[in-house]
Structure formats: structure tokens, C-alpha cells
Structure 1
Amino acid sequence: MNNVKTLNKWANAHTYLPVDLLRMALGVFLFMKGIYFFSNAQYLVELLSPIDKFGGGMFLVHYIAPAHLIGGILIFCGLLTRWAIAAQLPILICAVIINFMGYMHHQNLLLAFLTLAVCLFFLIYGSGKNSADYFFKMQK
């Protein structure tokens, strides 16, 4: 717990508007991906086909889209940012791995890798000063 408090103090002292805009853009991107996966469920099933032989394919289909939708909203608002990103990490790690197991889509690999890198940054950095987490913390 002390590590999280130390990270939050450091992040709040070094908060810049472009970093908050990057967090908001990540939230919008994940939300839009969630909408895309809901509207094109067959595309998501095709993406997951390389790992379908391991089982749990339908569970993943029903986990990925809602996790992106809810996580995108939370990340955009800066509410429970680290928890929302923790829910995104398994999806993004598998998105990178799937590209190596099946047919490699260079654009999907690059997009998944960049999104994973930004999520890892915000997992450490937190939500920053311009967020709901900071607002609720200051209400005490």
C-alpha cells in the first residue's frame, strides 16, 4: 500500500496535461474497440481462433468486449484506473501472443503492443491530477 501511495505522490507532483490527454485517448480507444467487438462478434471469434483449441473461447468473447467498454469509461474518467488497466492487461498480452500463434497481422500487433505499453505506463503512473480518483481523494 505504501508503494501505491508513493507512486501517487510522485505522479501528482509530475502531472502534465498531455499525459492526462493520453490517458483519456486510451480510454476512448478501448471503449471504441469494445463497441467494435460487440457489433462484430464474428470478427472477434476469428481473431481468437488460434487459441480456441485450448478452450474457453466463448468465455473470452464474452469477457473482452465488456472489459474494453467498462475499462475504457473508467480509464477516460480516471476512476479506478489501475484496476481497469489490470483487467485490460491479460487481453492485451494475449492480443500480442495471438499474432505469433496464427496469421500475423502487423497492424494488429503494433496496435496491441502500443496499447499494452501505454497501459503498463498508466499502471505505474496512475490516473494523475486531472482525474476522478484525485477529485475524490481531495474530498476527504
Structure 2
Amino acid sequence: MENIKSLNKWANAHTYFSVDLIRIGLGVFLFIKAVSFITNTQYLTELLSPLDKYGGGMILFHYIAAAHIVGGIMIFFGLLTRWAIISQLPILLGAVMINFMGEMHSQNLLLSIIVLIICFFFLFYGSGKNSADYYFKMQK
């Protein structure tokens, strides 16, 4: 718990509006990606096709869509950002690995790696000063 408090203190002392814009952009991207997956279910089914032999395709589909929608909104507002990022990590790691298991889509791989790196950054950095977490913390 002390590690998280020290990370929050450091992040709040070194916060920049551009970093908050990247966090907001990440949240919007994840939300739009979820809407894209929901409206075009065939695309997500094709992406998950290398995992067909392992089963649980519909469970994965619903987890990915729900985690991206809820996580995207939470990251956008900066509400429980680290928890939202933690829920995104298995999806993003799977998105990177699925390119090596099935057909390689270099554009999807690059996008997945970039989003994964940004998520790891915000996992340690937190949500920053311009966030709901900081606002609620100051209300005490």
C-alpha cells in the first residue's frame, strides 16, 4: 500500500496535461474498440479463431467487450485507473500473442503493443491530477 501512495505522490508532483490527454485518448480508444467489436462481431470472431481449439470463445468475446467498455470509460474519467488497466492487460497480452498463433496482422500487432506500453505506463503512473480519483481524494 505504501508503494501505491508513494507512486501517487510522485505522479501528482510530476503531472502534465499532455499525459492526462494520453490517458483520455486511451480511454476513448478502448471504448471505440469495444463498440467496433460489438457492432462487427464477425471481425472479433475471426480475430479469436486461433483460440477456437481451446474453447470459451463466447466467454472471451463478452469479457473483451465488457472490459473495453467499462475500462475505457473508467480510464477516460480517471476513476480507478489502475484497476481498469489491470482488467485490460490480459486482453492486450492476448492481442499481442494471437498474432503469433494465427495469421500475422502487423498493423494489429503494432497497435496492440503501443496500447500495451501505454497501459503499463499508466499502471505505474496512475491517473494524475486531472482525474476523478484525484478529485475524490481531495474531497476527504
Answer whether TM exceeds 0.5 for this pair: yes
Counterpart residue type for residue 126 of structure 1: G
Query: Who is 1:115 aligned against?
Result: 115
TM-superposed CA distance for 1:137, in Å, is 0.1
Query: Who is 1:64 aligned against?
Result: 64
Runs of 4+ in 1 over 6 A off after TM superposition: none
SS of 1:68's partner is helix
Counterpart residue type for residue 103 of structure 1: E
Q: In 1, distance between residues paired with 2:87 and 2:52?
A: 21
SS of 1:51's partner is helix
Name the % identity.
71
TM-superposed CA distance for 1:66, in Å, is 1.2
Worse-superposed segment, 30-39 or 49-58 = 49-58
SS of 2:130's partner is coil
Structure 1 residue 5 corresponds to structure 2 residue 5: yes
Matches within 5 A, 1:1-140: 1-140=1-140
TM-superposed CA distance for 1:51, in Å, is 1.2
SS of 2:15's partner is coil
Task: Give unmatched runs, 5+ long, in structure 2.
Answer: none
SS of 1:9's partner is helix
Q: In 2, distance between residues paired with 1:91 and 1:52?
A: 16
- Per the normalisation by structure 1, the TM-score is 0.99
Q: In 2, distance between residues paired with 1:48 and 1:101?
A: 10
Q: In 1, distance between residues paired with 2:104 and 2:62?
A: 23
Counterpart residue type for residue 106 of structure 1: S
SS of 2:6's partner is helix
Counterpart residue type for residue 129 of structure 1: K
State how many pairs are aligned: 140
Task: Give unmatched runs, 5+ long, in structure 1.
Answer: none
TM-superposed CA distance for 1:89, in Å, is 0.2
- Per the normalisation by structure 2, the TM-score is 0.99
Q: In 1, distance between residues paired with 2:116 and 2:25?
A: 14
Counterpart residue type for residue 133 of structure 2: D
Q: In 2, distance between residues paired with 1:38 and 1:51?
A: 19
